[in-house]
Each structure stands twice: as C-alpha cells, then as structure tokens.
Structure 1
Amino acid sequence: MKQINWGIIGLGNIAQKFSEGFINVSNSNLFAIASKNKIKLNNFKKKFNLDEQYSFNNYDDLLKCKEVDIIYITLPNFLHYDWILKCIEHKKSILIEKPAFLSYSQATDIEKSLIENRIFFTENYMYRYHPLVRKLIELVKENIIGDLINMESNFGLNIMTKKKFFFFKKNKKIDKNNRLFNKEMGGGCIFDLGCYTTSISLLVAALLKEIDTKNVTLKNIKKKIGPTHVDIDAEAELIFNDSFRSYIKTSFIKNLGNKTIITGEKGKIILERSFLDIGGLTLLKNGKKSFIYNPSLKNLYSYGIESISKSIIDDKIQYSFPIMSIEETLINTKIIDNWVKN
C-alpha cells in the first residue's frame, strides 16, 4: 500500500496529539519534523522514533525535503499565511491548523495560488472526521427530526480565573506575549474557540437544500474585550438565507463546554462535547430520549490523517465531507473576520 509521508512544522501540544494518531493508520507515515526549539525537536524525535536526518531545526529545510508529501502547519495563527505560501511554492500539500487565516483577504489570496498550482489544502477541524459527526449528518439528511428550525453551538473555557479557597476566585495574571491574548498574534476566544462554532454551523446549514451558505449574515453580536485588547467573551447569531439560524457563543471567562444542539420540527439532536473528546449523540423525539454512543477505537486525529492521505493518494483536489474545502474555509473565515471586527 502506498503511504503518504507527513511533515510537521511547529511542535507544540497539538502536534503531539496529532502525531499519536499515526499509530492507528496504514496509509500514512510521520516522516519529518521541524522546530526552532532544539530541546522540543530532540524530545519529539525520540518520542516518535524519527530519523535524525529528517528532524530539522529550520522550517525551510523541511520544505525542501523531497520525500515529504504533505505538511501540517501548527505555528501560531499570525504565521499561517506566510508558511502556506511557502508550502505552495514547494508544491507541498497542506493541512493548516485552525483558524487558517486572520482575515478574509488573506484567504482569497491563498485560494488563487492553490488553484493555480493545483495544491491540496484543508483546514484542521478534526471533529468532522469522527463517526458520530457522520451519524449526525445521516440523521439530519434522513429528516429524523423533521425540517430544521435552528441550532446552537457553544465552546468556552474559563482560562482567566483560578479557584482559591472555597468559592473565592482570583483572576490569573495575563501574559500579553501568550498567543491566546496577543492581538498581533491572532489571539482571542473567537479565533481560538469560536471558529469551531462557526464551522459546525456551516456544516449543518450546508445540509439544507434551500440554503446557500455564502448567503449568511451576523446579527446580535456581543463581545467583551480583555485587558490585552482581544475578545474574551463573544456571541452572535448566524442567519443563512434569512431563514436558518445558528446561535453561537465562545469564551475565555466562562465554562460553556462544547455542545451543539440542532432543533427540528419533530425533535432535537445533541452532539455532546462536539469538538474535542466527542461524547455521544442524544436524540430527543416524541418525548423520548435515546443516546447514540459510538466508542472511538482510534485517536480522533487518526480519522483525519487517514482520510486526508487517501485523498492525496487518489490525487483528489476537489474533495467533499469530511475534508474541509478551501471554499468552506473562505466562508468560515469571512464569518470569523466579521465577528472579530464588528
């Protein structure tokens, strides 16, 4: 069987979790890594038993490695645009960590280059590959809960306060150089967590035949800006074709969890822990509650690695769910851009 050789630029926590996913797939191989931090590079190399000659202390050297088929870019948000362009120049397929871009103009620039160079590109929303998300889509398509009315999706973690004695809380000291709180680095809860809620809203809206997902507006935007001038709490209402609505919330100061509820004329579908460790599907219909649990036998990232690698092996540039297309990324980026700036 043909195997796709993967390279990773940036060796943070997400790269560690992602790399563990290669254990469960047969069509892919973690082949090369790059980091400017020599300690991280060495530890990563040892943990995943990688070849010394393919462990680079310079990102450009990995790009020049002919054996690498696809590069996963896990660098901070503000570096995405430049390194996507460099990958395109070296004719490498690309998986980019979410959010792919910090502005809609960046996204449209990249789209043109991808099409001209016929480069595979997708954004890393790994929840899309999970079997339970496929089941959710199946239930909606089969009209199990009737015509859809609206949905809501939340993703929020309180990372700005810490518990002291009993119920007393204390605000954590915010490091303005931390990427999550640095505006120039693409910080803020919308870019970090809110992008999940917009992406799943697009995914569900696209299932409705009468909906053109490009025809979406944002209303009732509410935001709280933190001391480092990034959003730390936000909500909005997405309206598709002036009909289907998605209510979205994200936060760095509230433990909102990460749950998605889809409401139809005949019932509701609830996706528990929608984006990380997906917890199951609950179907509420006719006064009855049924729980659909599909235990994941793989690391969440294994599903994505396997699916993306198969598309590259099959030489597919036009691809469909679960892989996120550049067209979907463009729409999602436009929504996020408007949410952040308004």
Structure 2
Amino acid sequence: MKQVKWGIIGLGGIASKFADGFQFTKNAKLFAISSKNENKLLEFKNKFQIDENYCFSNYDSLLECKDLDMVYIALPHSFHHEWVIKSIEKGKNILVEKPATVNFSQMENIKNNLKNKNIFFSEAFMYRYHPQIPKIVDLLKNKIIGNLISMESFFGFNALTRRKIFGIKFKKKPNKYNRLFSKELGGGAILDIGCYPVSFSIFVASLISKIDFNRIEVLNKKKEIGPTGVDMNSFAELNFGNNFKSKVFASLIKNLGKKTKIIGTKGELIIEDTWSPTNISLINVTGENKETIKIKCHNNVYAYEIDTLSTCILENKKEPNFPGMTINETLENMRILDKWLN
C-alpha cells in the first residue's frame, strides 16, 4: 500500500499526540519534522525514528522538501494563517490544527488563496473521524429522539490546577507566556476549545436542513476575562434560524467535561465524551427509545484522522468528505467564533 508522507511544523504537545497516531495507520508515514527548538527536534527524531535529513530547524526548509505529500501545522494559533499561506505558496497539501485562524478575515483570505489550486486543505478536528460520529448521525437521521430541537455542548478543564507547597494547596495564576492564556498567541477558552462545541453545533444543525449562515445569531454571550486579557470561562447560545438552537460552554478554569446533550421531541441523546473517547465510547438515549450504546474505539483518536485524510490525498481530493471539516465549515465556524469573541 502506498503511504502518504507527512511533515509536521511545530513540535508541541498536540503534535506529539498526533505523531503517536502514525504507528496505527497503514497508509501514512511521519516523514519530516520541523522545530526551532533543538531539544524538541532531537526528541521527536529519536522517538519517531525520523531520518536526520528530514529534521529541519526552520519551517521554510520543510516546505521546500519535495518528498512530502502533506503538511500538518501544529504551531500556536496566531501563526496558523502565516504558515498556511506559505504552505499554499509551496503547493503543499495542508492540515492545520484548530482553530484554523484567529479570526474570520484570516480564514477568508486562506479560502481565496486556495481558489483554482489543486491543494487539499482541512482543519484538524479529530473528533469528526471517530467511529462514534457515523453512529450519532445514523441515530439522529433515523429520529431515535424525534425531531431535533436543541443541544448543549461542553468542553472545559482547569488549566490552573492547584500545586502543593509544604502540604498547602495554592492555585496557579494564568501565565501570559502560556499559549492558553496569551493574547498574542491567540489564547483563551473560545478560540482554544470553544471551537469544538461550535463546530459540532454546526454539524448537528446541518442534519436538519441546509443552514443559512447569515441568519445565525450568537446570543446571551458571557465571558470571564482573566488578568492576561483572554477569556477564561465563556458561554453563548446559537440560534441557527432553522428552529434549532445550541448552548455552548468553554472553560480553561472549570472542569466542565466533554459531554453533549442533543434534545429532540421524543427524548435526548447524550454523548459522554464528544471530543476524544478512547477504548469505549458511550452514547445514552433517553425517552421513548431508551438505549445505551457502546462503541469500541482506538486508544489514539488521531489515528482515525490521519488514516482518513491520507486516503483523501491518495484519491487526489481537495477536502474531506462528510463528516470531515470542509473549508466552508471552517469559514463559518470562524464567523461564529468571531461573533462570540467580539
């Protein structure tokens, strides 16, 4: 089987988790890496057995590599737009970590730059490729909970976990140099994790009818701004204009979990871990058709994403098929995030 050769720009925590997924795929190979941090470059080289000729200390050199089929951009949010544009200029197929950009206008610029080019582009929402997603779609389309009315979707964790000093617990303060809390790096709850429930809300709402994105309203916005100037705890209600509404929650200071509840006329569908279930994923249906569904899944959720997108490259596609994240979905996701942020 032919393998798609991947390169990674930026070797942070998310890149490491992503890279672990290659060992579980047959059609993909981690071929090249790039980082300005020599220690990370060496660590990745040794861990993933990368040929030293394909370990680059600057990002441009990786983009010049003619042996690559696909580039995964895993830099902090504020660098995404710049390196997506540079990747387009070099004719590289692109997967960019979420959020694709830090605002709608940047994403619009990317879409314009991709026009009339035979380049694959997608935003890295790995949950879209998890085996629980087709099952959820099947259940909802077969109206197991009746006609869809609304949903509530959560993503939140406490990034300020307490530390112990002499047995006494102290709560950490937000660090402006930490990407989660840095305004310059595109931090904050909405951009970093709020993009998940918003993207899933778009996904579910689109199962009802085609969405007129000009009619979407972002209502009852609440944001708790921290000392570094970014939102740390946020909420909004989305009205899709097709009789479907969604409440979205995102937090960097509260353990909200990863649950989604979809409400219909005959019951509710509850996804216990919407974003990254491993081993077993649980879907609970309440109401008229009460049921608990267990889905066996891989321990590395990124392997599903790598495998599916590598197939897209081998088939010369420019974006993933449903339920993958298309460029128009990414654009509208950013439009909603802009409204939530501002």
TM-score by length of 1: 0.95
Are residue 146 (structure 1) and residue 176 (structure 2) matched? no
Cα distance in 2 for residues equivalent to 1:110 and 1:87:
11
Give the CA deviation at 1:121. Answer: 0.4
Report what 1:64 is aligned to. Answer: 64
**SS of 1:291's equivalent?**
strand
Give the CA deviation at 1:210. Answer: 5.4
1:4-153 matched pairs, under 5 angstroms:
4-153=4-153
C-alpha distance after superposition, 1:100-123 (max 9, x if no partner): 011111011110111232311000
- Unaligned residue ranges in structure 2 (runs of 5+): none
Q: How big is the alpha-carbon RMSD for the aligned residues of Structure 1 and Structure 2?
A: 1.7
Cα distance in 2 for residues equivalent to 1:154 and 1:83:
30
Give the CA deviation at 1:171. Answer: 2.8
Cα distance in 1 for residues equivalent to 2:139 and 2:301:
21
Amino acid at match of 2:273: R
Report what 1:197 is aligned to. Answer: 197
Give the CA deviation at 1:145. Answer: 1.0
C-alpha distance after superposition, 1:224-266 (max 9, x if no partner): 1000110011100000015210001111221110111101111
Amino acid at match of 1:311: C
Give the CA deviation at 1:134. Answer: 1.3
- What is the aligned-residue identity percentage? 48
Cα distance in 2 for residues equivalent to 1:62 and 1:161:
37
Amino acid at match of 1:317: K
**SS of 1:18's equivalent?**
helix
Say whether the 8 Å CA contact 1:238–1:246 is kept in structure 2.
yes
Give the CA deviation at 1:211. Answer: 3.8
C-alpha distance after superposition, 1:154-204 (max 9, x if no partner): 111122252769xx9643132211111111110101111111010110110
Say whether the 8 Å CA contact 1:267–1:283 is kept in structure 2.
yes
1:1-342 matched pairs, under 5 angstroms:
1-162=1-162, 170-209=170-209, 211-241=211-241, 243-277=243-277, 279-286=281-288, 289-297=290-298, 299-341=300-342
User: Aligned residues, how many?
Assistant: 338
Cα distance in 1 for residues equivalent to 2:58 and 2:301:
29
Give the CA deviation at 1:45. Answer: 0.7
Give the CA deviation at 1:276. Answer: 2.0
Cα distance in 2 for residues equivalent to 1:120 and 1:210:
24
Say whether the 8 Å CA contact 2:235–2:249 is kept in structure 1.
yes
Give the CA deviation at 1:215. Answer: 2.9
Amino acid at match of 1:155: F
Say whether the 8 Å CA contact 1:222–1:234 is kept in structure 2.
yes
**SS of 1:153's equivalent?**
strand
Give the CA deviation at 1:15. Answer: 0.9
C-alpha distance after superposition, 1:4-61 (max 9, x if no partner): 1000001111111111111111111111000111111111111111111011111111
Cα distance in 2 for residues equivalent to 1:250 and 1:323:
22
Cα distance in 1 for residues equivalent to 2:224 and 2:324:
33
- Unaligned residue ranges in structure 1 (runs of 5+): none
Amino acid at match of 2:58: N
Amino acid at match of 1:283: V
Amino acid at match of 1:81: H
Cα distance in 2 for residues equivalent to 1:36 and 1:321:
36
Say whether the 8 Å CA contact 2:209–2:242 is kept in structure 1.
no
Cα distance in 1 for residues equivalent to 2:17 and 2:317:
26
Say whether the 8 Å CA contact 1:161–1:169 is kept in structure 2.
no
CA separation of 1:312 and 1:215: change in aligned 2, threshold 3 A: farther
C-alpha distance after superposition, 1:272-295 (max 9, x if no partner): 111123532111132x64221111
Say whether the 8 Å CA contact 1:206–1:212 is kept in structure 2.
no
Say whether the 8 Å CA contact 1:190–1:250 is kept in structure 2.
yes
